[in-house]
Amino acid sequence: MRARLLALVVLLLLAGCSSGSGPGDGPVTLRFQSLAWQEESVTAVRELVAQWNATHADVKVEYVQGGWDSVHDQLLTSFEGGEAPDIIHDASDDLADFAYGGYLADLTDLLPAGLKSDIPRRSWETTTFGGRVYGVPFLQEPRVLVANATWLRRSGVRIPTPGHPWSWPEFRQITRRLSGDGKYGVAWPLKEPVSATLNLSLSAGGRLFHRDADGDVTVRFEAGDAVVPRTVHDQIGADRSASPTTLGSGGSDILPGFFGGRYAMVPLGFSYRQQIVQQAPEGFRWHVLPAPAGADGPAQGVSPQTLSVAADSRHKKAAVAFLAFLLRPENMVRLALGDWMLPTGTQALADPALHTAKDDWAVGTALAAYLRPAPAQSVRGYPEWKDKVATPAFQEYYSGAIGLDELRERLEKDGNLVLARYQR
Amino acid sequence: MRTRPAARVAQYTALLAYLVFLLLPFLWLLSVAFKPPRELGSLHPTWIPKDPTLANFRQAFDEQPLLHAAFTSLLAASSAAVIAVALATPMAYVMARRRTRLARAASGWVVVSQAFPFVLVIIPLFLVLKKLRLIDSVPGLVTVYVVWSLPFALWMLVGHVRTVPVELEEAAAIDGAGRLRTLVSVTAPLLAPGIVATALFAFVTAWNEFFFALVLLKTPEKQTLPVVLTHFIGAEGAADLGPLAAAAFLATLPSLAVFALIQRRITGGRLAGAVKS
Amino acid sequence: MTSATERSRPARPARPATGAGAPRGVAGHGAWFLVLPALVPILVLSVGPLLYGILLAFTDAQSGRTAPTRWTGVLNFSDLLRDTLFWESFRIGLLWAVTVTALQFLLALGLALLLDQDLRLRRTARALAIVPWAMPEVVVGVMWRLVYNPDAGILNETLHDLGLGDGRDWLSGLATALPAVIVVGVWAGMPQTTVTLLAGLQNTPPELHEAAAVDGAGAWRRFRAVTWPALRPIALAITALDFIWNFNSFALVYVLTNGGPGGRTRLPMLFAYEEAFRYGQFGYAAAMGCVMVAVVSVFLALFLVGRIRGGDGG
C-alpha cells in the first residue's frame, strides 16, 4: 500500500513536471510578457511582435499580457518557481531586487553597440546594478502640470516654459491666487505619493537615499527633501489651494473634477494626455506646463520602463536580438506614440512626430534633457520601503494627520530598519 | 405559544431588514453587470438599468481569458474534491468508530489546522513545491487544495459516519458478512449522500479559493477564476466596473448552484450537528 | 471545528463513546490501512511544512539565488519586536477580528432566533440568507467595491436620496476604510454563523420552551433560562472559529483596499503575504507567522477558558 501511494505521489509530481514547457526541436519560442495596457500601445506592441514573427522563422515570440498592478509579486513568484517569461517588461525602480537576486541576465556584453550608444548614459544608470546592466530603459515620462488653459489665461498668471519654469514658492503663490469658492489651484492625486514626491524633490536637491563607503544605503530626510512635501502639505492644509479630497485618488480619478472646472491644474505623468484627449468635453482647452523647479533647476527623477531578459532563459542571444529589433529607433517611436511617452533613445527622441505642438508633445520632449535616474534607483528593499513605510507616512503627512518631524522619524527610523534587512 | 400581533410585525420587519442587508449588495452587482458604460458614468445611478445590455459580458470575455480560467477552476476544484473525499472517507470511518490514539491525534490535528495561519504553511509549502517544480501548475494547486480541505472533509465525514448506526454493521457481521463486505454493502450506501455533500462542499471551497491560487499560479493563462477577476482591477485601483461586475456574477453562478443543491443539508444542521456531536 | 466537541464535552452529560462498542472486526486490524491514504499527505504536506516553516523563522531565507540561506538565530524575532509597522498591523488585525466576530455573532444570533420562529416564508428566507456564504470571497470584495464606489456606488446615492449628505470615498478615507471593510467582513461571515446557531437552536427541546412559557416567563427570561444554556457550547465553538478565520482573512482586504489607505486595513495576513511573496523575505515572514499563531492561540485559550469557567460558575 505504501509503495502504491508513493507511486501515486510520484505520478502526481510527474504530471506536474510534464505540464511545464519542454524544449522543442522546432523553432525557438520566446515568451514576452508585456505590460502595455492602453489600447494603442497594446496594438503597437502586438504589431511589432507580428512583424518580427513574420520575418524570423527560427525565433517565434509569444505575446503574454501582464499587468502593472501585480507585476512585482508575479515576477518574484515566477522567478522563484523557474517559470518566468524570457523577455520581461517592467520599470527600473522595480528591478533592483530582481537584479541582485540573480534572476535577470547581465546584458552588458549581449547588447548591440548601436543600441548602447543610442541611449544616453544617465538612462543606462537606471538599470545598472553593481556595474552590470540588467535591462534596457526604453520609455520614460516627465511629471508635468496639466492646466486648464482658459482658466489660467483669464487669471493672468505667468505661463511657465521648460526654459523658465515656476519655482516652488511661485507655484504655491499662484495656486493660492487661483483658489477659492470651492475651486482649487491644484489637485494632487496622491494615491501613490512616494515616487511623485521623491522624483520632484530632485529639483530641490533632495536625495533621501545616501550610500556610505561600504555601499550600504541609509535614509536621511534633509532640508532639500522637505521642500516639495512641505509645499504640497501647505497647499492642502494652510492655503486650501489644493483639493483635500483627492489624497486617495489615482490620476484618472481626478480628471472629472479637472474637466468640470474644479481644479485649475493637475500634476500628472506626461502619458495622461491620452486619457485627457479621450475624455475631455468638447471645447475644453488644456496645456502641458513643466513641473516647478527648485535650487537644482527643473531636474526630476524618473524610472523608465525597461525590458530585461530572464537569467533562466535558454535563448538569451535570441531574446536580445528581439529587444534590439523592438527598440530600433523607428519602432521606439511607435512604442512612444502608443504609450504617449518619451523614448530614451536619442535618435527616436529626435523624430519630428514627437516635437509637434499638437497635444503639447514638444513641451514634454523639451523636458527630456532634465530627467535623471530616480533617487530610489538601485536601493535594495525600496519596494518594501515604499509600500510599507513611505506611502502611509506621506499620505498621513499630506492629510495633516502627522507633522514634518513625525514624517522624518518614520521615513528614517522605520525605513532604515527595512533597508537593513536587505543589506546583511 | 402565542405571539402578539405587534411582536409578529416586529419580527417580520426584522427579518426583512436582514434580507435587505444580505441580498441588496448582490442585486446591485447584477444591476451594474447589465448597465451600459454611459449609465455607469452618470452621477446618480439607479437600481434598475434604464437600458440593459449584455455588452459588459462580451467585453469581460474579450478582456480576460474567462472561459479558460473557468475551466482551470473546474479542473482544480473537482480533482481536489474527489481526491480529498477519497482519502478522507476511510480515515473518517476509523475516527468515528474507534478511539485509538491515532484517531484522537487526528481529531486534534483537525482542530489545530483550523487555527494555523495559512501563511506559516504556505511559505514552506511554496519552497517545497518549488523544489518539485510544482509552482505554477494545476497539479501543484490541487495537491495544496487536497491537504487544505482534508480537515474539513474529515470532520464532516466523521459526523456522517456517526449517523450510520453501529448496530447495522454488527448485525451484518453476525450474519457472517466479511469486514469489507459490511463496509461496501451496508455502510457505503448509507454514507453516500454524506460523501456527495462533502465532496460538493469541498468543490465549492476550492472553486471560491483565492489565497493559494494567487500565490501558486502566476502565468496569466494558468490562473483560476478568482485570480483572473482581480485583473479587472487595474493599476491604481481603477476598474472597468461593468465587465468586472459581469465576470464576478458569472463566477458566482456555480457556487450558488452547488449551494442550492446542498442547501438543505447545510441548513438542516449537519454542520452544527457535528459541532455538537 | 471539533474544537467545540472537545471543549463542550465537560459541560454536557457524559455519553458512551461512540466507538467504544464498535465491533473490533470492522475496523480492527484494517485501521492503519484505512488511515494511511489521508495520513501520508497530512504528514508530508501539512505537518512537514509546518515544522519547516518554524525552522525558516530562524533563518535569513530570501528570494534570490545569489546568497545562501544562513541560520540567524532569533534575529528575525528581535527585528520583529522593533517593527512598529507589523505591530500596527497586528493591532488592526485584532481590532478587525474582535469586532467582526462580535458583530457577526450578535447579528447571526438575532437572525437565527427569527428563523427559528414559526414565520411564513422562513424556508425561503433561510435559503436566501446563505447566499453570501456561497459567494467567492473575491466576488464579495468586488461587489462591495461597487457598493462603496464614490461615484457609481449605490451607498452614496442612497445617502444622497435620504438627504444625508454627498457621501464620501469610503474605502480610501483614513477614518472610514476599516469600518467599511468590517461591514463587509460581517456580511460575508454571518450566514455560516447563523446556520450553525440555528441548528443549535433546533436541537433544544421545544418542551422546555413551552414549560417556561406556561410558567409565564417573558421572552428574555425564556432566552436566558432555556435557550442560551443549550446554545452555549455551539456559540462558543463558532465564535472561536469565527475569530480564527477572521484573524486569518486575506482575500477581502486584498480585493477591497489592498491594505490601504496608509496601511489602515493591512491585516497581518496581508502583511505576511506581502513580506513573503512580494518582497521575498521568506524567513522574516515565517517569523511573523509564528508570532501570529502564538498570539492567537493565547488569545483563544484565554477566551475559551474564561468562557467555560464563567459558564460553570453561573
Residues A239, A190, single domain; the answer is yes
Contact list in B for residue C209 (CB cut-off 8 A) is 1
Give the pLDDT of residue B36: 82
The domain tally of chain C equals 1
pLDDT given for residue C30 in this prediction:
65
A9 lies in some domain: no
Identify which has the larger pLDDT, C121 or B263. C121
CA distance C68 to C280: 14
Percent of chain A with pLDDT over 70: 94
Residue B218 has what pLDDT? 81
- Give yes or no for residue B121 having a pLDDT over 60: yes
Structural domain includes residue C237: yes
Instruction: Mutation target for A interface from C43, C45, C63: give the one with most A CBs within 10 A.
Output: C63
A52 and A108 together in one domain = yes
Q: Is the dihedral of CA A98, A102, A108, A110 positive or negative?
A: negative
Do A259 and A390 share a structural domain? Answer: yes
Per the domain annotation, does C223 fall within a domain? yes
> Closest Cα of chain C to B3: distance in Å?
10
Chain B environment of C292 (Cβ under 8 Å): 117, 119-120
For the ranges A96-100, A381-385, B73-77, B132-136, the one whose mean pLDDT is highest: B73-77
* Cβ–Cβ pairs < 8 A, chains A and B: 76
Q: How many residues does chain B have?
A: 277
pLDDT per residue as tens digits for the range A123-153? 999 999 989 999 999 999 999 999 999 999 9
Residues of B in contact with A253 (CB under 8 A): 236, 238
Summarised one tens digit per residue, pLDDT across range A155-188 is 999 999 999 999 999 999 999 999 988 899 999 9
Q: Are B28 and C147 in contact (CB under 8 A)?
A: yes
Residue B184 has pLDDT above 90, yes or no: no
Torsion angle of the four alpha carbons A267, A269, A271, A272, in this order, in degrees rounded to the nearest 10: -40
Do A279 and A399 lie in a common domain?
Answer: yes
Residue C57 lies in a domain: no
**What CATH number should be reported for the domain holding residue C93?**
1.10.3720.10
Q: Which domain holds residue A398?
A: 143-302+378-422
pLDDT at A9: 45
Triad A285, A286, A291: Cα angle to 5°: 165
- One-letter amino acid identity for B147? V
Verify that A298 and A309 share a domain, yes or no.
no
* C-alpha–C-alpha distance, residues A165 and A59, integer Å: 48
- Residues B148-167, mean pLDDT to the nearest whole number: 84
Structural domain contains residue A327: yes
Q: Does A411 fall in a domain? A: yes
Taking an 8 Å cut-off on Cβ atoms, the answer to whether C50 and B120 are in contact is yes
Closest-CA distance of chain C to residue A115, Å: 29
Question: What confidence score (pLDDT) does residue C236 get?
Answer: 87
Residue A175's domain is classified under what CATH number? Answer: 3.40.190.10
Residues A215 and A235 in one domain: yes
Give the cell for residue B207. 472553486
Smallest Cβ–Cβ distance between A248 and the set C40, C173, C279 belongs to C173
Q: Which residues between 140 and 199 in chain C have a beta carbon less than 8 angstroms from any beta carbon of chain B?
A: 142-147, 149, 151-154, 157, 160, 187, 190-192, 195-199
Comparing CB atoms, the residue among A13, A67, A78 nearest residue B132 is A13
Mean pLDDT computed over B216-239: 77
Predicted confidence band of residue A80 (pLDDT cuts 50, 70, 90): confident
Residues 96-155 of B with CB under 8 A from C: 96-100, 102-103, 106-107, 109-111, 113-128, 143-144, 146-147, 150, 152, 154-155
Q: Do B28 and C34 touch (CB under 8 A)?
A: no
CB contact B12 to C (< 8 Å): yes
- Half-sphere exposure (Cβ direction) of A374: Cα atoms closer than 13 Å: 28
Q: Is residue A115 part of a domain?
A: yes
CA distances (Å), origin A424, targets A210, C85, C289:
17, 20, 22
Strand partners, A210: A218
Q: How far apart are CA A290 and CA A293, in angstroms?
A: 8
Nearest by CB to residue B241, choosing from C5, C152, C192, is: C152
Q: Do B135 and A65 touch (CB under 8 A)?
A: no
The amino acid occupying position A289 is: L
Please name the residue that has the C-alpha cell 522637505.
A226
Stretch (H or E) spanning A53: helix A39-55
Note whether residue A364 is domain-resident.
yes
- Find which of B93, B97, B161, B217 to mutate to test the C interface (most C CBs within 10 Å of its CB): B97
**Based on the structure, what is the number of domains in chain A?**
2
Confidence of residue A355 (pLDDT cuts 50, 70, 90): very high
pLDDT for B46 beyond 90: no
* Closest CA of chain B from C232, distance in Å: 10
In this predicted structure, what is the pLDDT of residue A1? 42
Residue A172 shares a structural domain with residue A230: yes
Q: Is the pLDDT at A32 greater than 70, yes or no?
A: yes
Question: Does C172 contact A at CB distance below 8 Å?
Answer: yes
Among the partner-chain residues B133, B140, B236, the one whose CB lies closest to the CB of A82 is B133
pLDDT at position B43 is 65
Are the C-beta atoms of B35 and B27 separated by less than 8 Å?
Answer: no
Of A76, A256, A389, the CB nearest to C63: A76
Residue B188 has pLDDT above 90, yes or no: no
Considering the domain architecture, whether residues A162 and A283 belong to the same structural domain is answered as yes
Kindly state whether B243 is in contact with chain C, defined as any CB-CB distance less than 8 angstroms.
Answer: no
* In a shared domain, residues A412 and A265: yes
Is C271 a domain residue?
yes
Does A179 fall in a domain? yes
Would the CB atoms of A12 and B143 count as touching at under 8 Å? yes
The residue of chain B nearest to residue A35, with distances taken between CA atoms, is B235
Label residue A3 by pLDDT band (50, 70, 90).
very low
Same domain, A157 and A106: no
Q: Are residues A109 and A189 in the same domain?
A: no
User: What is the residue type of C114?
Assistant: L
**Residues A256 and A187 reside in one and the same domain:** yes
Residue A410 lies in a domain: yes
pLDDT in tens, chain C (314 residues): 333 333 333 333 333 334 434 444 444 566 777 788 888 888 888 888 889 999 999 998 888 777 778 898 899 999 899 888 899 999 999 999 999 999 999 999 999 999 988 888 888 888 888 889 889 999 999 899 889 987 778 888 888 888 887 667 788 888 899 999 999 999 999 998 998 898 888 877 777 777 777 777 777 888 888 888 888 888 888 898 899 889 989 999 999 988 878 788 999 999 999 999 888 889 999 999 999 888 888 887 887 777 666 554 33
Contact A262, A280 (CB under 8 A): no
- A373 three-state secondary structure: strand
Mutate to test the interface with C, among A382, A387, A406, A407 (most CBs of C within 10 A): A387
Q: What is the pLDDT of residues A87-125, one digit of tens each?
A: 999 999 889 889 988 999 999 999 999 999 999 999 999
What is the mean predicted confidence (pLDDT) over A278-287?
Answer: 87
For position B267, what pLDDT does the model report? 52
Indicate yes or no: CB of B138 within 8 angstroms of CB of A20: no
Query: Which pLDDT belongs to residue B115?
Result: 66
3-state secondary structure chain C: CCHHHHHHHHHCCCCCCCCCCCCHHHHCCCHHHHHHHHHHHHHHHHHHHHHHHHHHCCECCCCCCCCCCCECCCHHHHHHHHCHHHHHHHHHHHHHHHHHHHHHHHHHHHHHHHHHCCCCCHHHHHHHHCHHHHCCHHHHHHHHHHHHCCCCCHHHHHHHHCCCCCCCCCCCCCCCHHHHHHHHHHHHHHHHHHHHHHHHHHCCCHHHHHHHHHCCCCHHHHHHHHHHHHHHHHHHHHHHHHHHHHHCCCHHHHHHCCCCCCCCCCCHHHHHHHHHHHCCCHHHHHHHHHHHHHHHHHHHHHHHHHHHHHHHHC
Average pLDDT, chain A: 88
Tell me the domains of chain B and their CATH numbers.
22-53 (no CATH), 64-276 (1.10.3720.10)
Report yes or no on A214 lying in a domain: yes
Q: What is the pLDDT of residues B57-77, one digit of tens each?
A: 988 887 778 899 999 999 999
Minimal Cα–Cα distance from B88 to chain C, Å?
6
Domain of residue C301, residue span: 84-313
Q: Nearest CA to C304 among C208, C213, C236?
A: C236
Find chains touching chain C: ≥3 CB pairs under 8 Å: A, B
